[in-house]
Structure 1
Amino acid sequence: MNKDKILIIEDSRTHIKYLENCLQDYELIICQTGEEGLNAALTYNPDLILLDLTLPDIDGLELCRRLKSGKVLSGTPIIVLTTRDEVEKAFSLGSDDYLRKPFLKEELLARIETRLEMSKMQKRIRISETRYRTLVERVYDGILIIDNEGKVIFANQQASKLLNIPIGDMIGSDCLEYSLSFFDLSNNDDPMQEELIFAKGDKIKEFIESLEDRSFRCKVNYDDGHIKFLKGSLISIEELNKAEEYLLVFRDITEEVLEKRLQQAYSFLSKITNLSYSLERVAERFTIKLKELLEVRGVTIYFRDYNGDLALVGESGIENEVVSGIKLKENNCLYNIAKECDIEQKIIFKNLQSYCEECTRCDEAYDSPFYEVIGIPLIHNAELLGILQMIIHDGNNWFELESELLSSFIIDITNLFNTKRLQLKLEDKHQRLLNNISKARMIQEALFPQRLPQLPALDIAARHSFAEHLGGDFYDIFVIDEEYLGFYLADVSGHGIDAALMTIFIKSNIVPKEGLNGENRIRSPKEVIKDLERKYQQENFPADKFIAIFYGLLNYKTGELTYSATGFVNFPIKFNQEDTEELVCSGPVINSYIQDFEPVEKKLRLKPGDSLFLYTDGLVEETDNKGEMYGEERLIESIKSCCELDTSHIMEKIKYDFESFVRNNDYTDDITYLLLRKE
């Protein structure tokens, strides 16, 4: 396991030896001058830097500025080691934390562990957010998110392209920019019969409420006279403690509608560090310590609440009724002084009796008119985090005698609470990331066929489930023309966002027909797979990624089936009431290393009563609690035991037998299987 790399820039051999003894669990790089340290930082790219402010050649503050000014090291945490009183300046130049010499080993290790963990969490969040944005922007479909008032609150680039409206113009809009004509998808005789018509300027909310089955096909009438056909789906998104939102996923189907008027598709668009104490407990412990150390009457700490108002998060030595008044944000002396300090953002001194002549609560609570309140703003990098407030007896010279000590405590608590604030922000980002992944799953789910083709003499059924939020299995079944049905089952390496991006690539690059001499020619399965492999090689996919796919072209009138596959080791099973047969069609996976790619193509005829069962390896490789795989033999026996049933009951029987054996819903791989029967 690789050790975290720490660069130590320190001129004192005594301090270096102490640091080496403390940090034996880390890989250390030692430099005794600023120039050496700067060069080492650029060469070794450390995970964290310990920087002494007193160096023989370059001032530590200047070196801190240089380290943070470049792109390479701007995100690397720097902990300043110093005896100098220039910590605030170090923070302003980019340092993340500091330790005042001499320091204890435990304090050093705690600060390093916290900063390393925060840095790693930030990197993971940046990577995840980049992947999510890539997923949304690379999808072939237009995506809109609409709030419960009918206003567009998100649009991707493809939506802007399909609707020919700039994203900035769509955001906040609650009206249709073009007239829309909707069609009844259930009418097979005349699927282009207009059912609903919306005029330009009509409210988007009305159009949403009209989509009862959440799927639609419509014609867009542009102002310049040209038209475009879109199909898509509307999905309700209901987040925790939030009003309902709608995910609208759509794509251009103009060519499909004009040629066949039969095909349907739905697309669907589917978040810091943890300190051991809560914010309130840290504040409470600090106020008790500060009250004891400075022998003051009382201490309070305020931070901003979610409404931007000051809220009491910690106190010590304050009378209960005064605390109640502060929490209720009443006309209370302590609370009013805190607000004034918030506005002025500088240390203020106020005499309780003269500050609020009408308020007797404080005078009564402290039994003396000679108390002063000191308000100290807690500022980090020019940003006010909160207010530290202390109640002292008039004439107490603690501030003058221990001003340096107080300054150190102010810097400490500001840095501590800033760390907590960053932690909360990271947790919030993490939660939003989880929400985005959930929406990404909705997007991927929307890419699957939402309604299987209904054809004479052919019965079709399908099931799929993901091992994680996002999966690497994908299938599609689609009518090509009056005679032919295309279908494929794909399994890509891995799970999660990377696998989901691969399935989107497959969905976008399976082309069943091509234009030739002004006519559309249906491609053979071998041609489709070779074309997919050619496009794969043009992309920059990682070497450890691959695609296994089975593609079939079925004349659903005659039963003639042409098929090709690559990378599949679990071959489809053709069966009827008499026997079963595997459709062996070997070939290498689609991968950036594979050269001279040449898939095999075969043919057969499905007779009435014949069925074809396709499945991915997750179905047969899943194990029970003893580690025994379900296996192909059990699958075939399950099929034989129910081959006389209709497709829906066969699928239910296979599911029941599988789940009875595995007895676990947390699958290790995606599971997908399809069934086609020639009636």
Structure 2
Amino acid sequence: MNDNKFILIVDDNSQNLRLLSQILKKDGYKIVMANEGETGIDIAISKEIDLILLDIMMPGMDGFEVCRRLKAHRETRNIPVIFISARQEIEDKIKAFEVGGVDYITKPFNKKKVLARTKTHLNLEEINNKLKRESDKQNILLDNIESQVWYLEDEKTYGMVNQEFADFVGLARSEIENKTIREIREEKEIASCIAGNQEVFQNKEKIAKEEWVENSSGEKRLLEITKTPKLNEDKEVEYVVCTAFDITERKKQERIIKELHEVAVDLKILEQEEEICQRTIEAANEIFNFDLCHISLVKDNEFMPVAYSEGMEAETLPLDYGIIRKSYKLDECYLTSNLTEDLDAAPTTAAFKSVITIPLKEIGVFQALATKNNFFSQRDVELAEILISHTRAALKNIYSQAELEEKHENLKRVKGLLDEEIQKAKRLHEKTLPTNIPGIAGLDMYAHYEPAYKIGGDFYNFIKLADDKLLFYLTDISGHGFDSSLMACFVKNIINTYIELQPDEDSLNPKKIVEFIFKQNQQENFPEEYFITIILGVIDMTKNELTYSNAGLHIPPVLCTDNGQSLEELPIGGFPISKSIPIEVIEYENTVVDLIEEDLTLFVSTDGLYEQTNGQIQYEDRYKKIISRHSSFTPKKLAEKIQEDFASFHQDDYTEDDVTFAIFQLKR
């Protein structure tokens, strides 16, 4: 029974302690908590603890050292330790197992995953209490990492391998371990494989490369391969740890994102209906496959084909025609995998079996057709929706201009000037990140964004509310993939919607906006593992006041005054925005800061800068000294100084996380 199980949680973050405690207590576990390592060790020694949840990044003694001491003590060495950390590098996970951990859960954590992992390891501890802990650690490492992992004893001999590697090669693990490369690999691969291994053994340095490799099914996959030598006390290579991530789909996503960006830029400058639609067809052909494709717009109560793929016969259709009628009238997207089984598809030519139908709201429809059943996927629908959203915006833009010219002929000159400003604002709004910083009298600002090696999840924006008032926000979305970029767009659109609903800038309340984002997120069908962290504030130059609210960003803003002599960390708090966090624990607050000093600098950052490592230590808050020392610099110059110091610190080709920060400077 869970009632008999005693779990110790060690974390310096009180919010994490409270959330983990609530999750576990609801499942019947007894809980004891510690907010730093020494206290956690004392509790583990004095009480009969069944399992420990342990944070890594804590002041004083970090989680790795806590685990080492627990494993060295006779009373605590057999207690299972699960690490919980925001650090996601393979090296960190390996180190966690090396010091005695049995599992590794990344923050932000998922409630179901925490409960499942907790239950699993409590059961394992009961069933396998006679097994050696070191053997358990190695098996967990190899079987739970979602990438290929293998060891090299020398340039030609495999050591231990995980199941992912064995599946890729098409052999059992026992058929690979302690065998030579010549016994395992195809003849055409042996020479290049051994040559790459010799490089790392001879140079004694980590190497990383991208390489196309054939799997056991004969399929070519693009792998991101890293080989890391482990040196002994004599600085000789003892063995080499190799990892391989399959990045084939990621590269496809990068190409698709690039095409979507290019078409968005192109559509903004096109002025003719046919040009916009034809450019959309060209982009669709680059993004996903189809046999025929068309855009039909509603004209004179009929669907009139305006643009279509090569080989398609253009045909005007009635408004009650098949799936396009349903999509147009209900303003819904449809993925039809088998047209012969869909009653709404009755008029469609029998040669076509699958279709994607996307409405352009009151304008018309986009449709892609294929001659095979189940040809399109839900992902194709999502990509088509993004593409058509740009098309719809471009068409509505030209329609709006035409209507204004027709209704206000006598105001053409004024309208022309207004359109120019609207276009500038629209281009700024549609860009993923702002390129032009708004001007506020007495306020200078600058933002820096550096993406990680995977696709980034950070986002920032500046919105001028009035001549004396600025709204800003920095947000960090969990993950580094295509889905993170979509979530960032979701947040931006929600904020823009809220601002549109509150035309009076004096009524805009940071806390209310953050709560609105949380509520909208709860209404969407997003998976629980997505987390949105955001800090959103309003600077009022007339009131000399900063009001901000925070949801999950745990790096405190820094306020520098008195020509760099005074440096203050501002309060933070609030849970991230996620469907996995119970609504009853959510409570966001506004923090109000007086900006009465003559010269002051405000620094706001996501966690990528603070948590970047150089292989040994974190960068942490080194930026404080730079801000204090160079407080008289402009925000741009100050950002360049921080960038220079940051680059000299980590000296890598890529950062571990997105690095995003903003600097505000008040001059009177």
Same fold (TM over 0.5): no
Return the TM-score normalized by structure 1: 0.41
Larger radius of gyration: 1
Q: TM-score, normalised by structure 2?
A: 0.41
**Larger relative contact order (C-alpha < 8 A, sep ≥ 6)?**
1
